[in-house]
Amino acid sequence: MEKVVIVEPEIPENTGFIARLAANFDAELRVVNPEFNLSESRKTASGCQDKLRDTEIFDTLEDAIEDLEYVVGTKPGRGTGIEGFRDPENTSLVIGRESSGLSNKELGLCDAVVHIETGEYSSLNQSNAAAI
């Protein structure tokens, strides 16, 4: 994975966990219009504060992905199941809001859409979904 883009995150702790994930897999982190100052995510970005410090913040998803080669959005029950998806080289991942995910318009900006197959309850925590 080349880059992880988080759209309008609402919970600082999830952003910190995703920063750690990005650091673990050497991915760049981009954030679209966060509802908080990224410094609030430091507690859960254990040892990866530099990843938060280097995070680019964008006003729109369009701006955040305009230079990316292949963009995959996520949404429960939409697109291809992640188990059957084979990502090409230079793939970047877009994760939506904790409360509502990505909008249909935002999904339309992606080259592909995937979902994580779960049981009856299809919603995962934002940082858990990013890790999978």
Residue matched to tokens 């992640």: 82
> Any residues with CB less than 8 A from the CB of 23 and at least 6 apart, and which?
47, 48, 51
Of 36 and 124, the one with more pLDDT: 36
- Of 60, 84, 81, 61, which is closest to residue 71 (Cα–Cα)? 61
Q: What percent helix, strand, coil does the chain show, rounded to 5?
A: 35, 25, 45
Say if residue 75's pLDDT is above 90. Answer: no
For residues 124 and 118, the answer to whether their CB atoms sit within 8 Å is yes
- pTM for the whole structure: 0.90
Question: For the segment 12-57, what is each residue's pLDDT rounded down to a tens digit?
Answer: 999 999 999 999 999 999 999 999 999 999 889 888 888 888 999 9
What's the CA gap between 112 and 99, in Å, rounded? 21
Sign of the Cα pseudo-torsion (71, 100, 7, 120, in order): negative
Which of 42-46, 102-106, 113-117 is predicted least confidently?
A: 113-117
pLDDT tens by residue, 55-72: 999 999 999 999 999 999
Span 102-118, average pLDDT: 90
Q: Give which of 3, 13, 5 is closest to 32, Cα–Cα.
A: 5
